[in-house]
Structure 1
Amino acid sequence: MKNKKVSFMDHLECYFNIYLPTVRGLSQSTITSYKATFRILMEFLYTVKGIPSDRVEFSTLDDKLIIEFLNWLESERNCSVSTRNQRLSAIAAFSIYAQNRDFGSAVIFRNCVLKVPKKKVPRKGRSSFTKNEIKILFELPDPRNEIGLRDKTLLCFMYASGTRAQEVCDLTVGDIQFYPDRAGINIHGKGQKVRRIGIPCDASNMLKKYIVHRRIINYTERHVFSSQRHEKMSVSCIEEIYSKYIDKAKSKYPDMFRYNYTPHSMRHTTATHMLEAGVPLIVVKNFLGHVSLQTTQIYTEVTQDTMNKQLKLWNDKWFPMDNPFEHTDKKSNIPEFLR
C-alpha cells in the first residue's frame, strides 16, 4: 500500500503546530507573526490569482509569484520595505523546513525562494530624545491621579531599563528584587530569553512606591503595569501613552521633539545616553539583551553636541595653536614630496 502524499498544507500545519513551538521553542508572538505572513499569502492567492488554499502546492509558489506577492504587499497593503522583507524571511524559513522533510516536492520551491532578493531598506535616522526632552517628558504626567502616576512610573522605568514595550507588558512583581540602592529585574525578552539587569536607586524607589501604592507588593504573579480595562497592559496601550505625551510636548515646546517617536525611541535613547556616558558597548549589548554586538552598534550614533565636544578635544590635542610648519629652517631627511 502506497503512503499518502503529504501536501503543502500538511507540511505548513505541522510547521506551525509542532516544529515552531516544540522543536524550535519559539514564542507565541513570533509564531503569530509567521502565521500572519501565510494568512496574507493565502488571501493574495485567492483574491488576486484565484487559487483557493486547498489547491496550493509547492509548485504554485515560484519566484515570479513570490515577487508579485511582495510587490502587492507594498502597492495594495501599503506595507513598508521592512515589512516586505520580513514576509520574505518567513517564507524562506518555511522553505528550509519543507525541503528538509520533503526534498523531492519542496526543493524547487526552496530554489525559487533563493532567487528572490531582499529589497534594500532606505536608511532612516533613529529617533531618540535629548536629555532635556527626557526631563520634559517625565514632567508631563500628573502623579496626583492614578493614570498620571502610572504613566510617569512607566516612562521613567523604560528609560532606566531600556526595555522593549512587550517586555514592560510582561513584567510581574515577582520579576523584581528591591535592594537599598537599586533593583534587580528579570526581563523576559525575545525568544523566551531571560536577562538580569539592574536599575539605579531613583528609578528603583519610584517603581517600588508605585507597586506599594497599587497594593500588589505581595502578589508575585501580578503585572506591574495595567490598563484601565485589563490586568496586563498591551503594547498598543503603551503606544497610546507615548502618543499622548509626545503630542502634549510638541504642542508645548514646538522647537523640540521634532521626530516621530515610538516606545522603541526610549530604548534607543537609553542606549545612546549609556554610550555617550562611556559605558562599554559590550555592557550595553548585555543590558539591552541583544544576541549580536552588531545589533548594538546601530545605537552608536551620537548627538551633535557630543560629536562637537569630542572633535574639539581631538583638535586641541593633535592640532595645537603653534603651527609646526612655520619652522622650516631645520634640515629634514624626508623628501619634499612626502611632507
Structure 2
Amino acid sequence: MTEPTVASLLQGFFTERLTRHLQASPQTVSAYRDTMKLLLLFAAQKTNKAPSRLTIDELDARTIGAFLDHLDNERHNSTATRNARLAAIHSFYRYALPLIPDRAHTASQVLAIPQRRHDRAIVSYLTGPETDALLASPDRATWYGRRDHALLLTAVQTGLRLSEMIGLTIQDVTITTPGAAVHTTGKGRRERATPLTKQTAAVLRAWLPEAGPPPIGPVFPTRRGTRMSADAVQRLVAKHAAAAALSCPSIASKHVTPHTLRHTAAMALMNAGVDTSVIDTEYVGEVRDEHAPGIAVGRDGIWGKVALRVGVAGEVLLQRDGQRVHRPSAAGFGGSRRSAASAISCGVALRYQ
C-alpha cells in the first residue's frame, strides 16, 4: 500500500474531515487553510523543496516548533494567533495519525506540543464622545468616506464580529422600519437578527444604492465591488481612530480595533439597562454555558481575594488562582449580578457559588 503524501493528506483533511464530516464553517476552513499555507511555505524554504514534495518526516515536531518561533519572532503574531495556528496543525495531525501508522511517533510528538498560556487583557471600549469623534472622521463627501462611515456606525451599533461585517450582503440587511435589522450567521452557525436604530437604518438606506448590485453584493465593498479583507477593515478603523484623536485626544491612549467597536456596542447596551444575557445571545452572539468547564458551581462558601475580568458584554467575571474564571454570586448583593459586580469593583470580598 502506497504511503499517503502530505498533499493527499491535506486534500483529505480539507475535503473529507473539515467539509464533509465536521461541516466546518467557511471561516474555520479559511483559517485552517491559511495556517497550512504558512506552514508549507516555511517548511519549503527551510528544506529547499517545493511544497508538493514535502514529507511528513519534514513536518516533525522540531519543524513545527521552529514554525511557531517564526510566528513569534518574524511575523510578530500574538499568543492567541499562535495558539490558533497550533490548534489547526493539531487538528490536521489528529486526522493524519490513523492514516500514517508508521509515522505515529512523529505525529504524537507534534500533538504533544502544548498551547501557550497567556494573560487575557481587558478589551477597551469607546466612550460616547470618543464614538462620536470616530464616526465624524470619514469625509462623507467621498464614496470611501460614506462607506467607512456606514461601516463604523453599523459596527458600533450592532457589535458584529469582523468576519460578520465583511461577510454581510445586501440581502442580509432589512432597512424598512419598523423591523430594520441585519441578519447574520455567527460562530456555531448561530443565526440572529440584530435590530438597527433609526439612525443606522437611515445611513444604510442611503448607502446601499452605492454599494453595488443586490442581492448578493457585499454591503461594504472595495471600489472594484469585491469584499473587503479583514486587514483592510483593521487599517480603516486604525486610520479613522488616529484622525479622531485630533479632536478627541483620549482615543490616542486606546488601541482601537474592530473588536473594540464590538465591545463598545455591548457596553452601550449594558449602560442602557439591557440584560447581559440578552446582549450575549441576541446582539453579540456569545453563547455561555453556566455549567461549562471553568465555571464554578457549588463552591461551599470559599472566601478569598479575586482578580477581575470583564466579559464581552462588560459583565464582571472572577478569576481565582490565576486560571479559572467564575461568575460572581448574586447572593448577598441585592439578588442581581450587577449589584455583585458593583461590590467587587469596590474591593469587597466575594463568596463563590
- After TM superposition, is the score higher than 0.5? yes
What SS does structure 2 have at the residue aligned with 1:197? strand
What SS does structure 1 have at the residue aligned with 2:181? strand
Q: Take 2:270 and 2:4, find their aligned partners in 1: how far apart are those partners? A: 53
What SS does structure 1 have at the residue aligned with 2:228? coil
Among 233, 240, 243, the residue aligned to 1:248: 243
Q: Is the 8 A contact 1:184 1:199 kept in 2?
A: yes
What SS does structure 1 have at the residue aligned with 2:218? coil
Q: Give 2:270's aligned residue.
A: 275
Q: Give 1:115's aligned residue.
A: 112
What SS does structure 2 have at the residue aligned with 1:252? coil
Q: 1:131 to 1:68 in 2, by over 3 A?
A: same
Q: 1:280 to 1:54 in 2, by over 3 A?
A: same
Among 275, 281, 284, the residue aligned to 1:288: 284
Q: Is the 8 A contact 1:175 1:185 kept in 2?
A: yes
Q: Take 1:92 and 1:226, find their aligned partners in 2: how far apart are those partners? A: 35
Query: RMSD between aligned alpha carbons?
Result: 3.5
Q: Give 1:75's aligned residue.
A: 73
Question: 1:261-292 CA deviation, whole Å, 9 max, x = no partner?
Answer: 11221011112222333322322222212344
Q: Is the 8 A contact 2:241 2:251 kept in 1?
A: no
Q: Is the 8 A contact 2:175 2:204 kept in 1?
A: no
Matches within 5 A, 1:6-21: 6-21=4-19
Structure 2: tracts of 5 or more residues without a match? 295-308, 317-337, 348-353
Question: 1:202-251 CA deviation, whole Å, 9 max, x = no partner?
Answer: 32233223335x397x9323332223232543333323332222111112
Q: Take 2:201 and 2:288, find their aligned partners in 1: how far apart are those partners? A: 28
Q: Give 1:84's aligned residue.
A: 82
Matches within 5 A, 1:39-188: 39-49=37-47, 53=51, 56-99=54-97, 101-102=98-99, 104-105=101-102, 107-188=104-185
Offset of residue 93 of structure 1: 0.5
Q: 1:131 to 1:117 in 2, by over 3 A?
A: same
Structure 1: tracts of 5 or more residues without a match? 316-339
Q: Is the 8 A contact 2:173 2:182 kept in 1?
A: yes
Question: 1:168-204 CA deviation, whole Å, 9 max, x = no partner?
Answer: 2222222123443341321133465532222223322
Among 194, 218, 223, the residue aligned to 2:218: 223
Q: Give 2:204's aligned residue.
A: 207
Q: Take 1:246 and 1:269, find their aligned partners in 2: how far apart are those partners? A: 14
Q: Take 1:301 and 1:222, find their aligned partners in 2: how far apart are those partners? A: 34
Offset of residue 62 of structure 1: 4.2
Q: Take 1:314 and 1:44, find their aligned partners in 2: how far apart are those partners? A: 50
Question: 1:147-176 CA deviation, whole Å, 9 max, x = no partner?
Answer: 333322222111111112332222222212
Q: 1:226 to 1:41 in 2, by over 3 A?
A: closer
TM-score by length of 1: 0.76
What SS does structure 2 have at the residue aligned with 1:152? helix
Q: Give 1:266's aligned residue.
A: 261
Give the letter aligned to residue 140 of structure 2: P
Q: Is the 8 A contact 2:3 2:100 kept in 1?
A: no
Larger helix proportion, structure 1 or 2?
1
Q: Is the 8 A contact 2:166 2:229 kept in 1?
A: yes
Q: Take 1:300 and 1:186, find their aligned partners in 2: how far apart are those partners? A: 20
Q: Does 1:298 align with 2:311?
A: yes
Among 188, 193, 196, the residue aligned to 1:196: 193
Q: Take 1:48 and 1:234, find their aligned partners in 2: how far apart are those partners? A: 29
Total equivalences in the alignment = 307
Larger radius of gyration: 1
Q: Is the 8 A contact 2:133 2:247 kept in 1?
A: no
TM-score by length of 2: 0.73
